[in-house]
Each structure stands twice: as C-alpha cells, then as structure tokens.
Amino acid sequence: MKAYDVVVVGAGPAGLSAAITAAYYKVGVLVLDSASAGGAPVNQYPWKKVDNYLGIYGKNGAEAAGLMVSHAKAEKAAINENETVTDVRREARPDDSKEHIVVTTDRGKYSAKAVVIACGLGMPRKLGVPGEGLENVTYSLPDPRPYAGKKVFVVGGGDTAVECAVELKRHKAEVAIIHRKDAFRATEKNSQCVRDECVNVLWNTEVKAIEGAGRVEKVRLFNNKDNTESVWDADVVLFSLGTVANTELLQKIGVKTDANGRIVVNQDMRTNQPGIFAAGDIVGKWIRIPEAIGEGGLAGLNAFKYVKSPYWG
C-alpha cells in the first residue's frame, strides 16, 4: 500500500487547487479521479468559455482544465486518472497503534495522513419520467458537433442548460429549451445569448414522457400554465437539471451531510471526521470555478497543517 501525506479525491478545480496548495508545502500528494483530470470543464463541457475566473478569460473548459492540471503536476502532485474511489476510512496501522486513512479504489489501496474530498456532484439529477432510459437521452454535452441537423430538446433553465442550447444552435442543431418556469435562472449574459441566437424556448413547460422504440423519437410535454399537452418529434433530449452527490460513498466515509446531501464543513474546510477535509461543489456553496478553487486551496492548506503541525499553524 503506497503512502502519501495527502490524498485528494477528485481532480476538478477544487481538487487540483487543494493538491497545488498542499504540494507547494512539499508534502506528498496524490490526486485520484474516476475520469480525466480537470473535472467537469474537460469531461462534460470542454467547449464552454470560462469567463468568471480571474486571469483565464476567454479560454474554454478544456484549456482552463489543462492549465490547472499542468500546474498541479509542476508542483509534483501525482495524478491518477480513471481510478474510482470506493471507500475512505480510518484504520489502525498493522505495525503500531497509530491510525491512518485508507483510500480504497477500483485498483488498490493508498495510505494517507489527511484526505480532501473534492469529488464534486458527479451524478446527474434525473427527472424520473417514462422513457428517460431511452437511447439519445443524455445529461451532458462533451461535443456539440454530432448534433448538427438533429432535433434536440434541452430541459432546464440554469446557465448550463442555456449555454448548451446556444452551443447546439451554433452547431446547426434544431434546438428548443424546455423550462417549467417563465424566466431563466441563468445570468442575463447567457439569457441574452438565447435571444441573440433565436433559440426557441417553451416556457411553463414540463416533460411528461419520452417516447420511442429503443431510442428517442418523441417528447410528450405539459404546459403548466394552460394545462395542455403536446407531442413533438425529437432526436435527442438533454437534461440539464444540475447534479447530486454520491451519497452512497459519503455514507461509507461517514462525513456529515446536510439535507441536500452536501458535506458539512467548518471554516477550515474540516469535516466531522478527523483528517478529512472537503471542498468544491460537494460542499455546495457557489457551484462555480472561483468558489471551488478558493475552497480547495483552503482545504489543501489545512490538510498540510493537519499533517505537519507547523508552529505557525
């Protein structure tokens, strides 16, 4: 079992920020991620422009993630991609009475003195309507190009839903947004893009069912304002309703969570479990890159303090 000072679970902006900060203080750091390092900006929406983080305006998700990964590696943080963490727990060392934290993955086990949970809200929120399991129902948009000429319905009213719809329209998809309210949650900047691109919006509308023989062929919609139903031809349904925490993993770890399944931390990003910290979307404050990086850095700093107990800490 290979030993590290700090193991970070998740290689998104929060996890990489924690890794950079801890590694800067010259402790051994390992970052584990079930997908490619960089998190959602590279795995789910690499085309999205990152315009709300200081200093990287105009870069897309893939470019921004690449800078973060390169920085972490430059600080000598080890990064294991496509390795899924299945458990994190404190155990007694076989050779003495001291405890360590054992991080179990689908490849093996690692020993750590401190752990930072920064795995994000990696599970898509599902609506649970009939037909949601059909082929061509999706929850992210890694590449909009294959949807050219397709009839795509984007379900949601937040920034990601709006950005996906606009990008699909720019790539020649026949796209419409389905939103159960009469106004977006998205920023005015993104809402203006919808108007500029003339994206069709079905306001006050909900998905009642998705129909088709194995794959998406039609969507059955309900207008909650006039109580009417309609059926539309469709090729793809993209649900963009946010993400939820992997509560099964969090229960195994034993960290305290709130009513929404987010990890509860104090001002130092500590959880209720000794030596275990958390940061980013899994903490559930502002679900954006600037917040994730700030929290990750603070978690990395306090993980270092926990491990090394510097006189100034």
What is the four-CA torsion angle of 295, 297, 303, 307, rounded to 10 degrees? -170
**Crossing angle of helices 289-308 and 13-24, rounded to 10°:** 40
Cα 95–100–103 angle (5° rounding)? 120
* pLDDT tens column, 231-279: 999 999 999 999 888 888 999 999 999 998 999 999 999 999 999 999 9
Is 168 a residue whose pLDDT tops 60?
Answer: yes
> Which of 244, 211, 252 is closest to 229 using CA atoms?
211
Question: Which phi and psi (to 5°) does residue 135 adopt?
Answer: -60, 145
Cα of 17 vs its chain's centroid, Å:
15
* pLDDT tens column, 172-197: 999 999 999 999 999 999 999 999 99
Return the beta strands (E) in the chain as ranges: 2-9, 29-32, 49-50, 59-60, 78-80, 85-92, 99-105, 109-117, 123-124, 137-138, 151-155, 174-178, 200-202, 205-211, 218-223, 228-233, 236-239, 243-244, 276-278
pLDDT at 311: 81
Distance CA 81, CA 38 (A): 10
- Find out whether 45 and 142 touch, Cβ atoms under 8 Å: yes
* pLDDT tens column, 55-95: 888 899 999 999 999 999 999 999 999 999 999 998 887 66
- The CATH number of the domain covering residues in 126-239: 3.50.50.60
Question: Which phi and psi (to 5°) does residue 77 adopt?
Answer: -80, 130
Question: In the β-sheet with 228-233, what is the strand arrangement from edge to edge?
Answer: 205-211, 218-223, 228-233
Listed in order, the ranges of the chain carrying CATH 3.50.50.60 are 2-123+243-308, 126-239
* pTM for the model: 0.91
Is 43 a residue whose pLDDT tops 80?
Answer: yes
Candidates 3.50.50.60, 3.10.180.10, 3.20.20.60, 3.90.1150.10; CATH matching 2-123+243-308: 3.50.50.60
What is the four-CA torsion angle of 113, 303, 110, 245, rounded to 10 degrees? 130
Is 97 a residue whose pLDDT tops 60?
Answer: no
Query: With the C-alpha atoms ordered 153, 157, 159, 160, is the resulting torsion angle positive or negative?
Result: negative
Average pLDDT, the chain: 95
How sure is the predictor about 159, in pLDDT bands with cuts at 50, 70 and 90?
A: very high
